[in-house]
Amino acid sequence: MNQSCRHFFSAAAVALSALAIMAVVPSHAAGKGTSHKQQVVALLKSLETGDSEAASSINPQKYIQHHLTIADGLAGFKTLYALPKGSVKVNTVRVFEDGDYVFAHTDYLLYGPKIGFDILRFEHGKIVEHWDNLQETPAKPNPSGRSMIDGETAVSDLDKTESNKAMVRSFVDDILVNHRMDKLAGYYDGDNYIQHNPQIADGLSGLSAALQARAKAGLSIKYTRIHKVLGEGNFVLVVSEGIATDKPVSLYDLFRVQDGKIAEHWDVHQSIPPQSEWKNQNGKFGF
């Protein structure tokens, strides 16, 4: 990535930082001890700061790692602290909680600029399991001028969490897994749709055009299985498995729902390495 592109994304990260602070440390948590969300944000930030005290959130007797190039257990996680100083930057922009799970959306500098989702599972107050998905940050905005990380951050409609999760699961199953394209328009409020995928423009029209173009070019990513659906209020994350160019891929899609319709979308796709390269045997999913 050239210097001008780095400056572009650095400026974007700074602009988001104030929003990020409000989003990842909700006001209702103040004065009530350290919430699970705060522990996750601190743990991810410790990769940048080297503050190993944040790792005390991890259960040292049980930490199941699904990042396939990191060894299992607390010792595997702590190898990340050995990265050269200044080589890691972490700006968590969104963080959500669903039962024992916390999931975060983060702008990383980690072996180069990346956008990532992390999912961490708590058990008896300690982090015992971790999943993630990382994608290289594109050099330029998408056709509508959006990045993979900007957009809405505020959680609302907590009473609609389960209905929003059910609707989004149906969307992924209908459209992305089974290609029931006659149902596509029913999931959207006309053309009112904000898109953060690097190659796709805003609107249902932009999505439809991109899907058709990819199909004609033989570049379609095939979703084969939904592994997990997590949500908090108006935000829903779907973890899926698929195939891209005949190779296995992990697919994380985050949706913002408004009035029962999909209003905004972010995603991260990551190739799954061959098993011979894994440093743990937990698999990419295993929910």
Residue 5: per-residue pLDDT: 41
| Between residues 217 and 35, the one the model is more confident about | 35
> Is residue 185 located within the same domain as residue 257?
yes
User: Where does the pLDDT of residue 216 fall: very low under 50, low under 70, confident under 90, or very high at 90 and above?
Assistant: confident
The token pair at 39 is 């522990």
Q: Name the DSSP letter for residue 97.
A: E
Q: 174 in a domain, yes or no? A: yes
Position 88 pLDDT exceeds 90: yes
Angle, alpha carbons 138-139-144 (nearest 5°): 75
> Is residue 19 located within the same domain as residue 69?
yes
CA–CA separation, 130 and 132 (whole Å): 7
> Is residue 107 located within the same domain as residue 190?
no
> Is residue 167 located within the same domain as residue 126?
no
CA–CA separation, 34 and 48 (whole Å): 20
Report the range of poorest mean pLDDT among 28-32, 182-186, 199-203: 28-32
Q: 118 in a domain, yes or no? A: yes
* Stretch 149-166: mean pLDDT: 98
> Is residue 9 located within the same domain as residue 124?
yes
Look at the chain and report how many structural domains it folds into. 2
The token pair at 144 is 């509508």
> Is residue 111 located within the same domain as residue 206?
no
Position 158 pLDDT exceeds 90: yes
Instruction: Give per-residue pLDDT as tens, 109-156.
Output: 999 999 999 999 999 999 999 999 999 999 999 999 999 999 999 999
Q: 121 in a domain, yes or no? A: yes
**Using H for helix, E for strand and C for coil, what is the string for 110-152?**
CCCEEEEEEEEEEECCEEEEEEEEEEECCCCCCCCCCCCCCCC
Give the CA distances from residue 141 to residues 113, 117, 146, 250, 254, in Å, rounded to whole numbers and listed in that order. 14, 19, 5, 23, 18
Q: Which domain holds residue 262?
A: 158-275
> Is residue 50 located within the same domain as residue 128?
yes
Instruction: Give per-residue pLDDT as tens, 4-34.
Output: 343 333 333 333 333 343 444 443 333 346 8
> Is residue 263 located within the same domain as residue 171?
yes
Q: 116 in a domain, yes or no? A: yes
Residue 205: per-residue pLDDT: 86
| Between residues 48 and 206, the one the model is more confident about | 48
Instruction: Give per-residue pLDDT as tens, 33-74.
Output: 689 999 999 999 999 999 999 999 999 999 999 999 999 999
Instruction: Give per-residue pLDDT as tens, 259-276.
Output: 999 999 999 999 999 999
The token pair at 36 is 């699970």
Residue 85: per-residue pLDDT: 85
Across the chain, how many H-helices and E-strands are there?
A: 5, 10
Residue 246: per-residue pLDDT: 87
